[in-house]
Amino acid sequence: MIHIWLPSPNAPLRIWQATSQDWQIAENWQELATLIGLQHPKNKQTCLYFPSMLLLHIQPNLNATQLKQLGELGRKYLFEELSIAPVEDLQIKTLNNNNLYALHASDRKQWENLANLSGLNIVAMLPDFCLLDDYLFNANDSDTTTNQAIFYQDNATQLLKTTQQQGFAIPHLPLFLHKLLKQTSEKWQITLTGNIDTKLTQELDLLENIDYQLNNYSPKPITEPQRHALNFALNKKNQRISPYAKVIGFVVVLALLTLFVVDGLRIYHYQQATKHTKTLLKQQYEQWFPNESFNPRLKIDKQIANKLINQQNNDNGLMTVLASIQPILQQNEIIAKQLNYQNNRLQLQLIAKDSDSLTRAINALNTQQIHAKLGTVTPSEAGAVASVEIGLS
């Protein structure tokens, strides 16, 4: 696994070198990607140790049962006084029952995106105080009344870790211990590691109940970081979809289904209308020419044209009028029962569902400069029967 340490938001990145047991500096994620491409061309699983200064920590006076009853959102609101961003953005982890740690999801997403651009897959994300090894506590465990802690300092961070697995990023160790000693008179044994200067030890000498020892220990990655209680990386296999996302997804799916149903109904009604139109055309043709068979593959005007041209000496004006009449009759669901053409006058007997349909058809014909005159309208079982006379100039 690749171990990357980001000691502070603006500090250079550090990548662990297993051969030299040391950290190598990378100024940015692009340089880090180049180093990893050379050193780990196949392995892309990564553990990121992020700055502990971005981690929020509280110890509520609640037991495990009470914390569970609060629920995820209730535990987030315990951090309301510490968080400068909305608490809904927090990701909560519990350590030792009553130690709650929180990290803003926006920070986690930012690191995940940067890692993805570098070709890395973050499977573990821990606060960097986890790099301080617990084995340093074992050398001083004979006195159970003394609290123990490890302090690490370099030019980018200052970390403190206690025997209770609590960890912090602290700006100044003596000030932190001074405030702590005001609350309790317990003794503390501090193991100092990293770049420790004499000024720090001189300030610690002035504090009562504080004992310290120097150690040349260097922070090291932990084993199996994926199983650590403070692993803030999301398990993609078990990643849950938020209720809001589920609602949005449901609405989108419902909208698509509705669109498909509407389109399907339109296609169905169009096909039905096409079939009905063909049936009406066939019936109309058979009424006009009972001794001729109707060919559905040919247009009705072409079939009628052949008949009328032979009978009326190629009267092109009549064919133009008939071609204009046909769609108007179809639009108003009117059937021409009889057709008679004599002396440049076309007489039609029309059957409609009501008289209004006949009136609309006559008005539409007149609009197209076809001089149609509606005769007597007689009610019938089918609706209304009327004779129409059309003059051809």
Give the C-alpha separation, 48 to 127, whole Å.
8
116 shares a domain with 11 = yes
SS3 281: helix
Question: Residue 286 contacts by C-beta under 8 Å, 6 or more apart in sequence?
Answer: 294
Q: List the pLDDT tens digit at each of the 393 positions of the chain.
A: 899 999 999 999 999 998 899 999 999 999 998 888 888 777 789 999 999 999 999 988 888 888 888 888 899 999 998 888 889 999 999 887 778 999 999 999 999 999 998 889 999 999 999 999 877 665 545 566 678 889 999 999 999 998 766 888 999 999 988 888 887 778 888 999 999 999 999 999 999 889 999 998 889 999 999 999 899 998 765 455 667 778 888 899 999 999 999 999 999 988 888 888 778 777 777 777 777 777 777 766 676 666 655 554 445 677 788 888 888 888 888 888 888 877 778 888 888 888 888 898 889 888 888 888 888 888 888 788 888 888 876
How many domains does the chain divide into?
4
Neighbouring CB atoms inside 10 A of 164's CB total 13
On the 0-12 / 13-18 / 19+ scale of CB atoms within 10 A, 342 is exposed
228 shares a domain with 85 = yes
Point out the domain boundary residue: 288, 314, 340. 314
230 shares a domain with 189 = no
Residue 44, domain extent: 1-128+224-234
179 shares a domain with 74 = no
230 shares a domain with 94 = yes
292 shares a domain with 325 = no
Give the C-alpha separation, 327 to 306, whole Å.
19
The chain-wide mean pLDDT, for the chain, equals: 85
The CATH number that applies at residue 333 is: 3.30.1360.100
278 shares a domain with 332 = no
4 shares a domain with 112 = yes
The CATH number that applies at residue 146 is: 3.30.420
Question: Within a 13 Å sphere around the CA of 308, how many CA atoms are in the beta-carbon half?
Answer: 22
CA-nearest of 110, 112, 108, 117 to 30 is 117
Q: What count of residues does the chain have?
A: 393
Is the pTM of the predicted complex or chain greater than 0.75? no
Q: Is 165 left (phi over 0), alpha (psi -120 to 50) or beta?
A: left
- Residue range 137-154, pLDDT digits in tens: 655 455 666 788 899 999
SS (H, E, C) 268-315: HHHHHHHHHHHHHHHHHHHHHCCCCCCCCCCCHHHHHHHHHHHHCCCC
